[in-house]
């Protein structure tokens, strides 16, 4: 089975107080990719190929929601939707955790 995960980070939506919004977005993207990979493996096992695309755009407003596509799987639409909602919630939680972490502190304005 192969799962494709697609999401977006808008640098203008990261909030105030960062010294370099592009660096914050890139650091968070790295953290988020790992969190998503661990979540999928935790739910579906380690026998899955996972392709994660996190685009970073210099914009504000409403970005696209996290979406998934499952290739070669015998999974019903309800299960796929459930996984997608789970990962969308995880994405929001990941920002809350990362933005308060020691990693994020090095990007905070003095």
Beta-strand ranges (E) seen in 21-106 are: 49-57, 67-71
Asked if 51 and 70 touch (Cβ cutoff 8 Å), the reply is no
Q: Is the pLDDT of residue 94 over 80?
A: yes
Q: Which domain holds residue 19?
A: 2-75
When pLDDT is averaged across residues 13-24 and rounded to a whole number, the result is 93
For residue 66, being part of any structural domain is answered with yes
For residue 101, being part of any structural domain is answered with no
The number of distinct structural domains making up the chain is 1
For residue 83, being part of any structural domain is answered with no
Token pair for 33? 């990719």
For residue 80, being part of any structural domain is answered with no
Cβ burial of 8 (10 Å; 0-12, 13-18, 19+) is: middle
CA distances from 80 to 13, 42, 65 (A): 28, 15, 15
- Full-model pTM: 0.88
Higher pLDDT, 74 or 79: 79
- Span 30-43, pLDDT tens digits: 999 999 999 999 98
For residue 58, being part of any structural domain is answered with yes
């Amino acid at each position: 089975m192969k799962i494709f995960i697609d999401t977006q980070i808008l640098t203008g939506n990261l909030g105030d107080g960062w010294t370099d919004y592009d660096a914050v977005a890139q650091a968070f993207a790295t953290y988020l990719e790992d969190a998503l990979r661990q979540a999928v493996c935790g739910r579906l096992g380690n026998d899955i190929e996972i392709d994660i695309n996190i685009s970073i755009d210099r914009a504000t407003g409403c970005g696209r929601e996290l979406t998934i596509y499952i290739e070669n799987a015998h999974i019903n639409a309800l299960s796929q939707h459930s996984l997608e909602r789970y990962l969308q919630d995880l994405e929001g939680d990941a920002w809350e955790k990362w933005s308060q972490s020691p990693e994020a502190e090095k990007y905070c304005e003095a």
